[in-house]
Amino acid sequence: MVEIFDYDLVIIGSGLAGLRASIEAAKTGNGKLKIAIIAKNQLMRPHSISAEGGSAAVLYTDEGDSFDLHAYDTVKGSDYLCDQDVVEYFVRQAPLDILELEHWGIPWARRDDGRVAQRPFGGHSYPRATFAADRTGFYEVHGLYDTMLKYENIDKFHEQFVYDFIIEDNKFKGVTAFDIPTGEIRIFKARAGIVATGGLGRLFGYTTYSHLVTGDGLAIALRRGMRLKDIEFVQFHPTGLVPSGILITEGVRGDGGILRNAKGERFMEKYAPTKKDLAPRDIVSRSMMTEILEGKGFKGPNGLDYLLLDFSAIGAEKIKEKLSQVREIGNHYVGLDPVDSPLPVRPSAHYTMGGIDVTRTGFTGVTGLWAAGEAACLSIHGSNRLGANSTSECVVFGKIAGEDSAKWLLSDISTINLSEGERSHAENFVADAYKDKGDNDPYEIKRVLWSTMDKDAYVFRNERDLTEGLKIIKGLIDRSGKISISEKGNVYNQNLIASLEMKNLVELAEVVVNSALERRESRGSHFRTDYPKRDDENYLKHTIAQRANGGLQITYRPVTLTKWKPEARVY
């Protein structure tokens, strides 16, 4: 039996982008729109709460910062692959939205003069990371959720696993999901939708991402014929805690922390003489891996050799005040207190620069469907994101997607009718997944995927490894259709959820590795040891990946340049 809910707007995902979109859609609709926000976790437990360091915004033009400086830092940090017109809009809008969050109760840190405090972050020319201790994402999520509760026309659905979009003649009609607590099939019929499902970080085994982030929205969009953009660019955060990969915020280095090798040397002075430990993340990650590959790291478990993040220059009181969560993480996960001891770190998969190809408003090209946050690619980050720009992007463009979709709904008088075929598909999609089609273990497929991506598509890449990785991934895709799900019940069937997530991941892995193979240059987070130079003549363009004619097609689109021409990235 399929349960059908009827809405004007359905928002998939309850992170920063989804929450901000829901608020703006409700405000713009002025009570005239029926809105649902759904998530596969508890709505207040999205991966956004893991963001620690800050949200970038130009707050102090009277003290030397400027919109052009923030834009230039972002463009240069992106290795010139971002679309500069979108970046210019973003840097002007971010301060307005950051101050709006303050009015909604975000407890931003304060300077001695009472003004909002900002800390330095990698690649930024000015300390513009607005922060709330080292729990910025946590406070932002809670502030947005509390604000959303003011709107009675937003219905909230926890623990709903969305497994498909309903699209007919390029028009969005809703999403299909199952209720995780009961296993019941549900259709959220809607005239419009916003995809805010986050990135694809769980492609990798060693990652800062929670197990929640499995690229579901991206995989569904790919299967439904939508375009994915610049998907080969995956950011590796320099300081993932060994061996878990848990994020140790860039705010540590912003507050004075130093990376050291096994000889005790502050090695970043060699690679980025000016910025040192606060160079952009792609440069710091490559520098760290170079040190490790040259034998200057410490031997770690399961091949996870590491370097040290030294907190001593920060001081105990400042650590306790501004980095209390990092201190808890160190104590809990590795038994080390950063006040007394450095932490073991190495680059960890952290962020998806690419995503669903969208316009500035988040429109996907499918009538009635938008995307926002990490699931979308507006080309703000290009091939390498500057720290603290992501949470700002989620708030800025989540708001825009919510507003634009609501305005469109108010002007659209069409109705949605579901066919029997669409109802049948909703029910049979999951029913088919229950059937034993082979003896492959979905968890083993995921483990092989993780080891393959960690080895063949990590910080340093080359044609041999990528080709071998792609071969393994294609085998995993074949195996993913021949699995056995050991748990047969309906209530909280975690085996079924893990199997569907696994299928999403292996399909996305093919796109990431294929796109990386085709980009025969080094740019930002994508570094090819066999093509170590940036090639603006041939690759100053966006990668567009799309399922068509039974296969994966890779095409390219020019980058939009406004004020800043490509130059060498020297830090």
What digits encode the pLDDT tens for the residues 356-377?
999 999 999 999 999 999 999 9
- 3-12, 435-444, 552-561: range with lowest mean pLDDT: 435-444
Q: Which among 246, 218, 196, 166 has a CA at the least distance from the CA of 43?
A: 196
- The pLDDT tens digits for 472-485 are 999 999 999 999 88
Q: Which of 237, 286, 346, 381 is the catalytic position?
A: 237
As a whole number of angstroms, the distance between CA 148 and CA 464 comes to 49
- Looking at residue 470, its pLDDT comes to 98
Whether 542 is a known active-site residue: answer no
- The pLDDT tens digits for 59-99 are 999 999 999 999 999 999 999 999 999 999 999 999 999 99
Q: What percent of the chain has pLDDT over 90?
A: 94
- Looking at residue 1, its pLDDT comes to 79
Whole-number Cα distances in Å, 451 to 211, 297, 403, 463:
16, 21, 41, 17
Q: Which of 47, 128, 253, 519 is the catalytic position?
A: 253
Whether the pTM exceeds 0.95: the reply is yes
As a whole number of angstroms, the distance between CA 497 and CA 537 comes to 44
Pairing of strands 369-371, 185-195: parallel
- Looking at residue 431, its pLDDT comes to 81
- Looking at residue 67, its pLDDT comes to 98
* Whether residue 243 has a cis bond before it, omega within 30° of 0: yes
As a whole number of angstroms, the distance between CA 62 and CA 206 comes to 42
Q: Give helix 84-103 / helix 67-77 axis angle, nearest 10°.
A: 120
Q: Are 52 and 135 in contact (CB under 8 A)?
A: yes
- The pLDDT tens digits for 272-284 are 999 999 999 999 9
- The pLDDT tens digits for 237-257 are 999 999 999 999 999 999 999
**550 pLDDT more than 90:** no
Q: For residue 553, how many other CB atoms are within 10 A of its CB?
A: 12
**413 pLDDT more than 90:** no
Q: Are 380 and 233 in contact (CB under 8 A)?
A: no
- Looking at residue 376, its pLDDT comes to 98
Whole-number Cα distances in Å, 383 to 91, 429, 510:
18, 36, 19
Q: Taking all residues of the chain, what is their mean pLDDT, rounded to a whole number?
A: 96
- Looking at residue 549, its pLDDT comes to 87
Domain 435-538 falls in which CATH fold? Answer: Methane Monooxygenase Hydroxylase; Chain G, domain 1 (1.20.58)
Whether 461 is a known active-site residue: answer no
- The pLDDT tens digits for 1-18 are 799 999 999 999 999 999
Q: What percent of the chain has pLDDT over 70?
A: 100
- The pLDDT tens digits for 129-186 are 999 999 999 999 999 999 999 999 999 999 999 999 999 999 999 999 999 999 999 9
Q: Which residues of 498-524 are buried (b: 16+ CB within 10 A; e: fewer)?
A: bbbbbbbbbbbbbbbbbbbbebebbbb
- Looking at residue 144, its pLDDT comes to 98
DSSP character for 167? E
Helix/strand/coil for 2: strand
- Looking at residue 185, its pLDDT comes to 95
- Looking at residue 414, its pLDDT comes to 83
Confidence of residue 225 (pLDDT cuts 50, 70, 90): very high
Domain spans, the chain: 239-347, 435-538
Half-sphere exposure of 154 (CA within 13 A, CB side): 30
Paired tokens of 292: 């490790």
- Looking at residue 155, its pLDDT comes to 98
Question: Residue 126 belongs to what H/E stretch?
Answer: none
The answer regarding whether domain 239-347 maps to CATH 3.90.700.10 reads yes
